[in-house]
Each structure stands twice: as structure tokens, then as C-alpha cells.
Amino acid sequence: MPDALYERLAIIGAGLIGSSVARAAGKAGVAGHIVLADADASILADAERLGLADSYHSDPAAAADKADLVILAVPVGAMASVAGDIAGALKPGVTVSDVGSVKESVLDSLTQTLPPHVHILPGHPVAGTEQSGPAAGFASLFEDRWCILTPPPQSDTQALDRLTRFWRALGSRVEIMDARHHDLVLAITSHVPHLIAYNIVGTASDLEAVTRSEVIKYSAGGFRDFTRIAASDPTMWRDVFLNNRDAVLEMLGRFSEDLTALQRAIRWGDGDALFTLFNRTRDIRRGIVDAGQDAAVADFGRPHKD
Amino acid sequence: MPDALYERLAIIGAGLIGSSVARAAGKAGVAGHIVLADADASILADAERLGLADSYHSDPAAAADKADLVILAVPVGAMASVAGDIAGALKPGVTVSDVGSVKESVLDSLTQTLPPHVHILPGHPVAGTEQSGPAAGFASLFEDRWCILTPPPQSDTQALDRLTRFWRALGSRVEIMDARHHDLVLAITSHVPHLIAYNIVGTASDLEAVTRSEVIKYSAGGFRDFTRIAASDPTMWRDVFLNNRDAVLEMLGRFSEDLTALQRAIRWGDGDALFTLFNRTRDIRRGIVDAGQDAAVADFGRPHKD
Ligand SMILES: NC(=O)c1ccc[n+]([C@@H]2O[C@H](COP(=O)([O-])OP(=O)(O)OC[C@H]3O[C@@H](n4cnc5c(N)ncnc54)[C@H](OP(=O)(O)O)[C@@H]3O)[C@@H](O)[C@H]2O)c1
Ligand SMILES: NC(=O)c1ccc[n+]([C@@H]2O[C@H](COP(=O)([O-])OP(=O)(O)OC[C@H]3O[C@@H](n4cnc5c(N)ncnc54)[C@H](OP(=O)(O)O)[C@@H]3O)[C@@H](O)[C@H]2O)c1
């Protein structure tokens, strides 16, 4: 394969993201041989049935053996243990990266666990859906989405350059960022949005005066949008909040402060304050659509009959 | 027209909802003649260019004259003034309804303003998009969505029955509900979701440590979902919060209480509490998809290349 950036690519975790990386890398021809590993035998069997890789392993060390690039695609809380599993099998000069939604804690545990002859280059493709598992993945998931790489200081520039070209070949735009700053940015663009979505769905489920059936029937008023996010994988999201505590609490503090001000405006009938905020927030939507980060069509392009 | 339920239908307000009612009623053939009115001459001209009705009026009284059904499709805060405009022109036995997102305050102001020979039957189709104006409407908007009617006690059953058949002909399922209960249910399924969406977009715009450009670039992590709702019409939403204050404040109180508990779980690293909530909220999503109130496909069916 002439364009192969890595002779041997090992992906540990064959879920939504891992399987999408396998598909996209296969399609782009950027790896000579793709190995998929998963701790769960039935998930691995699904991946094999789907023909996502060239070989399959239940043992992550066997998968990482002789690999030129290893990508960890397991929940953030499992990264340290998988790193421990593969540490002894890694060949000198290999790049170990990941796709975890939190970066500082992952960088720390990889640095503590992996041998010095390994290039540790953590990453996070900002792309996904609310679904899980190998069947939910698809090759175009990363197209036109940003992949953030958070290399530690003094990283090998050649290794970083190669990983950058890898993600570009998968369709991503690549940004280099400090791990701590990544965690702050994603706290507001991803983690807190998920938390408040989970929270409002929980609140709605627990009301006495409004039934569950009413919540479901009238969800098209806006609530249903939040339920999509709140259907995301519980393990993945538990790990995100446990591993990005400080940034999430800081952003949550801001959110609550602003919400209290809005609550006050409603209590006192301050229509101007409400109008001013509601008018200001349209700009950001326009920016997102203009930047190609969401569909321009109404209602996300939800299916309609005309 | 054999199926016409109303000889003459007047719709006051030619925006997203008013224009969609005109389109759907025209398509279903449930009105002998459709009149559209709007205070804004350029909007009325747009509606006429789109051919949405049989006749067009800038004066709501002229539009309501001789009508058998009048539907007010203006922001909730404008309902009282439009009712005042048309009161003198209404013929005995006419049904006056509306599509406002709040019901108790609208019922009160229609009851105070309109003459006793009018059937006042407020309504709310729980369907919409984030867009406004006549060009944004479409005939299938109400299909498989619920339309809630909130007739006052001792309403005329024949008039109510006819209005129910009207909405069913437009594709809606119809539910009869007390106006106050409507406002409580919609506070949690629509109003508070919009408020927290507006709020988080505001919070994200005001951060010093994270730039606007970063918020836009990494919005695919979840944030972009909220920006759709937060791009909704500011006037409409200001009026909703000013007119459903008590129910919104009550639901907001619950939401904040629950969010504080989540915040505490994050601070103390209580992964089990997080996992339990995140696991519980998936059910409601499943209920909504099973009830046909959202698309079953991942990511709302957002366009992807494969
Ligand atoms: N979903 C998104 O939208 C998204 C977006 C960007 C980044 N991410 C990140 O991507 C990573 C994977 O998420 P995902 O959505 O792909 O999750 P997923 O579909 O649940 O896949 C994760 C896979 O990893 C397996 N796994 C768990 N622990 C393991 C271990 N110790 N050794 C080997 N395999 C193990 C899981 O098996 P079991 O199910 O049997 O545990 C599962 O098959 C997470 O770090 C997440 O933060 C997710
Ligand atoms: N959007 C939704 O998703 C949705 C869903 C269900 C129910 N509703 C309800 O439907 C109603 C209309 O909302 P919409 O989304 O259709 O809004 P819209 O697209 O902004 O349309 C409202 C129209 O009413 C006109 N108008 C305002 N005041 C008027 C007056 N005094 N006399 C005559 N026309 C007047 C407006 O003109 P100007 O723009 O010049 O003021 C505008 O053309 C609201 O009560 C809303 O609560 C909306």
C-alpha cells in the first residue's frame, strides 16, 4: 500500500469510535495492517463479522505487539489499565495515542505507565453520536470534524507530524493544544452540555404533577433534543466527569450563575433582559453553521414529509 | 369543497406556524376560503408570493370579518391586542382559537376581550422548528405531532368537536387539557429546555479562557445541539417566559436542585451516582422514539456521507 503512514495499526476498543477509526483508516489506506482488540468477546466477534480490520485479538498486548501506531479507544477510566496491559509489548519508536474525551488525566496515566521508548501523543476526535458499539460506527464520522492532539512538551516532531497526517487522511482538521486547555474547552462545548441534558431528563422523569407519558408525548417542544445526548453511554460519561472534575465544576459554576440571573429576570418580568440574551445567542448558531460544524437546514434535517 | 369543516378560515399572523396552518389546511381542504393577515406588510407580501391563502389582509379585523374559525398565530404577548382588534368584527358562533405556546394567560385575555357570542377554544400544536416567517413553514409540520386544546369549562361540545376534526385533518393527534396543566407540562417539555439552551450558549459566549472561535470549532461535542434551540425567535420566547412565569420558575427550581446534587457527585467522585442517573435517562429517549416523536436514526439523522 503506497500511502500507508503506519505499517501496523492497532486499535484497542472496537466501539463506536474505535470501529470508525478502523473503517476510516481502512478506506484511506493509511495503514498496512489493521488490528482490532476488545475485551468483550461478543463485540470482537461483531467487529469481525463486519470485516472492520485485518486481524482481531482479545488480548490488547497481542494486538499492540509490533504495532507502529496504537490507538486506545476505550472509556477514559480504562485507559490506565489498558496502558498497563500493553506496556511490555510495545516496540521502540511506536506512537501510542488515544481518542478519550478528557486529555490531562490520560496524558498523566500514559506517561506514568508506558516505557520511555514510546511516543505518547494523546488525541481527541471531536465527533460522535449517542450510539455505542462497532455496528454504530462509520467511515465518514471524522470528516470535517476537528481532531485535537495534546502532545506533552518536547514531543518528537516527526511522530507528531505523522499522526497529524493520519487524522487528516481520515478527513479531520487537526489542532494542537495543551491538554489542560483542551479539558477546559471541552468542558463547555461537550461535558457540561451532556451533564445538563442528563440532568433535565432526570428532572422530567421524577415529577409528580407531570406524567412520564406526557413528557414523551409533548417532547417535540424542545425536550427531545436533550434526550438524544442523554442516551449516550453511561460508562463513558461517568469516566469523563470523574476525570475532568475541576474544569467541569468551573464551567458549571458559570452556567448556574447565569441561570440564576435569568431566573431573576423571569421572576421580575424583565422582558428586555430576556430579549437581549435570546437575540445574542443566534450569532453563535450562525457561526457554527458557517464553519461547517452543523447542518444549515431547519431542525437538524430531521426527516419530514415535505 | 365537500370536506370543508369551516367555510371561512382566518389566520392572524403569517409566520412559521400561521403559514404552516394555512398550507396544511389548504392541502387538507378543510376550509372553503383561507384568509391570512399579518401586521407586517413585507411578510404579507411574502405569503402572497408563496400563494399560501385565498386572500390577504393587513388589518386583522377585515380578515376576521365573516370568518367561521379565527386562529391567532402571533407571539403570546400580542394575543390580547389582536383579540381587541378583531372583537368588533366577529360574527356570532365563530370559533376563536390560537397556537400560542402558553395557554392560561391567552385564555384569560381572550375571555376578557372577546364578546360572549364567540366560542373561545385555545390551542397549541406542539410542533415547530427554530426558524421564523412564512417561508420557513411547511404543510407536514403537524403530522404525528400533538395539538393540545385547552377549552374553558362549559365549552360548546360541537364547536370543540369541529376544531378537533380540523387538527386531525392537518395530521395532528389531539389532546384536551386544562390550560394550567398545559402550562406546567410545557414548562418542562419545552420552556425550561429552551431557557437552559439559551443560557448555556450565553455562558459559552462570555468566557475569557475559551474563545468564541474555540466554542464554534469544537461544538460537535454536544454544544451545537443547544445552539439550534437557542436560535429560536427572541420575541416569541420572551413572551413565553413572561406569560408562564410560575410554572417555569417551579420547574427551574427542580432542575437546579437536581443539578446541584450532580455537581456534588462530581466534586466527591461519586461515580455510582453519576452512572445510575446516566443509565436511567436512556429509557425516556427510547419512549420518545417508540412513540414516533423523534427519528430513530443516530444524531437526529444529520447528514453524513455514508
Ligand atoms: N461516543 C462519542 O461520541 C465519543 C466521541 C469522541 C471520543 N470518545 C471517546 O472514545 C472512547 C470510546 O468511546 P466509544 O463511544 O467508542 O465507546 P463504546 O462504543 O462503548 O466502545 C468502547 C469499547 O471499549 C471496550 N473496552 C472497555 N474497557 C476495555 C478494556 N479494559 N480493554 C479492552 N476494551 C475495553 C468496551 O467493551 P465493553 O463495552 O465490554 O466494556 C467497548 O467495546 C472513550 O474514551 C470516549 O471518551 C467518544
Ligand atoms: N416556533 C415554534 O416552534 C412554535 C411552536 C408552537 C407554537 N408557537 C407559537 O406560535 C405563535 C407564532 O409563532 P411563530 O413561530 O409562527 O412566529 P413568527 O414566525 O415570528 O410569526 C409571528 C408573526 O406574527 C406577526 N405579528 C406579530 N404581532 C402581530 C400583530 N399584533 N398583529 C398581526 N401580526 C402580528 C409577526 O410579524 P412581525 O415579525 O413583524 O412582528 C410574524 O409575522 C407564537 O404564539 C408561538 O408561541 C411557535
Please report the pLDDT score of residue B1 as a whole number. Answer: 44
User: What's the rounded Cα separation, in Å, for the pair B50 and B36?
Assistant: 12
C-alpha cell at position B66: 365573516
User: Is the backbone of residue A301 left (phi > 0), alpha (psi -120 to 50) or beta?
Assistant: left
C-alpha cell at position A165: 497526517
Residue B103's closest CA among B122, B90, B129?
B122
> What is the helix (H) or strand (E) element at residue B25, kind and residue range?
helix B16-28
Residue B301 bridge partners (DSSP): none
Residues of chain A in contact with residue B299, where contact means CB-CB under 8 angstroms, are 129-130, 228, 300
Do the beta carbons of residue A15 and residue A44 sit within 8 Å?
Answer: no
> What is the helix (H) or strand (E) element at residue A92, kind and residue range?
none
Query: Which of B20, B145, B170, B223 is the best mutation test for A, with the most CBs of A within 10 A?
Result: B223
Please report the pLDDT score of residue A306 as a whole number. Answer: 62
Average pLDDT estimate for A113-132: 97
Closest C-alpha to ligand 1, atom 43: A15
Residues B185, A225: C-beta atoms closer than 8 Å: no
Average pLDDT estimate for B257-274: 98
C-alpha cell at position A70: 496504537
Residues B281, A202: C-beta atoms closer than 8 Å: yes
Q: Count chain A–chain B contacts defined by CB atoms under 8 A.
A: 370
Q: Which tens digit of pLDDT belongs to each residue from B89-145? A: 999 999 999 999 999 999 999 999 999 999 999 999 999 999 999 999 999 999 999
CA distance A254 to chain B (A): 7
Mean pLDDT value across chain A: 96
For residue B231, pLDDT over 90 is answered with: yes
For residue A100, pLDDT over 50 is answered with: yes
User: What's the rounded Cα separation, in Å, for the pair B14 and B72?
Assistant: 10
Task: Mark out the alpha helices in chain A (DSSP H runs).
Answer: 16-28, 41-49, 60-64, 79-86, 104-113, 157-169, 179-186, 192-205, 212-217, 223-229, 234-243, 245-267, 271-280, 282-290
A14-38 burial string, b = 16+ CB within 10 Å, else e? bbbbbbbbbbbbbebebbebbbbbb
Average pLDDT estimate for B19-45: 98
Q: Above pLDDT 70, what percent of chain A? A: 99
Please report the pLDDT score of residue B306 as a whole number. Answer: 62
Which backbone phi and psi does A191 adopt, to 5 degrees? Answer: -70, -50
For residue A21, pLDDT over 60 is answered with: yes
* Angle (deg, nearest 10), helices B234-243 and A271-280: 140
User: What's the rounded Cα separation, in Å, for the pair A31 and A71?
Assistant: 12
Q: Which tens digit of pLDDT belongs to each residue from B155-214? A: 999 999 999 999 999 999 999 999 999 999 999 999 999 999 999 999 999 999 999 999
C-alpha cell at position A86: 500493553
Residue A212 bridge partners (DSSP): none
Q: Which tens digit of pLDDT belongs to each residue from A139-157? A: 999 999 999 999 999 999 9
Residues A288, B234: C-beta atoms closer than 8 Å: no
Query: What domains are defined for chain B?
Result: 6-177 (3.40.50.720), 181-298 (1.10.3660.10)
For residue A168, pLDDT over 80 is answered with: yes
Mean pLDDT value across chain B: 96
Q: Above pLDDT 90, what percent of chain A? A: 96
Please report the pLDDT score of residue A1 as a whole number. Answer: 44
Which pairing describes strands A146-149 and A173-176: parallel, antiparallel, or unpaired? parallel
Identify which has the larger pLDDT, A302 or B81. B81
For residue B228, pLDDT over 80 is answered with: yes
For residue B304, pLDDT over 90 is answered with: no
> What is the helix (H) or strand (E) element at residue B130, kind and residue range?
none
Please report the pLDDT score of residue A303 as a whole number. Answer: 83
Query: Is the ipTM value over 0.90, yes or no?
Result: yes
